[in-house]
Amino acid sequence: MNRNFENELSGVVPIVPTPFNEKEEIDEDALRRLIDFAITSGVKAVCLPAYASEFYKLTDEEKLQVVRIAVEQAAGRLKIVAQCNHPALNVAISLAKANVHAGANVISLAVPRIFGLPENALKEYLSHFLDSVPETPVLIQDFNPGGSSVSVEFIKDLMHAHANFKYLKLEEPLCAPKFENIIKATGGKVGLFEGWGGLYMLELIPIGIAGVMPGLAVADILQNVFDLRSKGEHGKAFDLFEKVMPQIFFALQNMELFHYAEKELLIARGVLKNSISRKAAYIPDPSSIRYIKELNQRIINIL
């Protein structure tokens, strides 16, 4: 069966955090509120469980659980991008197939970066994964703090070999030239998403990225920024983005700090009741707690 994979994702596709109760168990009611919040924020899709969802602290069954809940709660009102990260290919494939069966619209996978691997090994891993869900569009994420992301030639080859490789999310600074080269090499057939909280979005929107994947708590604001910049209202886009950038920049100093700041902002917005992350979790000092509250209040004032 042939699928039309075009235009599944665009604009802001936020990452949904995993809410926990006092026993560090997944809080299903809170997760359903987060999905409803995403819908009222005006975004068309969300992604989970990703790095910003603490996927690395979830069991494989819990990873599937949060996707099932999200699909059920969304009920077709927005698209669900199901992240299936695992360094073992057979486990990643198992997660992907289960998420497709559960109703996920797009499957996402992070390039395995626990240890350095040559590109031929990564290509074999990703090719088998893409072949396992041929009728479902796939978003590949490359977050490589220890070095550069996959090469332009690698991306081009993967696109030609797999029709369902439709999106690529890169998280690295000074990536505008690389994004331009990818768009040229692929003819724009692979939609590019910027991660890292949306920090570089104003630089990359004019280049032609498909969207950004920030935290959920500021998704509605960043959707407005994306729309303004895309329409050429650059001054308004910069003015609005400058108001949220201090919070994004501070939180991204540490991924575990990001979890805390993100959930605290969702508390301030009336969506979550606690900012619990699974241990090991970042324990903010009193100064950081005060500053995060100050930054979050400034965002509330925008709204």
Token pair in block for residue 35: 């999905």
- Residue 246: exposure state from Cβ atoms within 10 A (0-12, 13-18, ≥19): middle
Q: Residue holding tokens 């280049």?
A: 207
- Report residue 138: phi and psi, to 5°: -125, 135
**Which of 239, 148, 252, 150 lies closest to 202 in space, CA to CA?**
239
Q: What is the DSSP letter of 109?
A: E
DSSP string, 181-213: HHHHHHTT-SEEEE-GGGTTHHHHGGGT--EE-
Residue 213 is labelled as binding a ligand = yes
Q: What angle do CA 197, 201, 253 make, to 5 degrees?
A: 30
User: Binding site for pyruvate, residues?
Assistant: 213
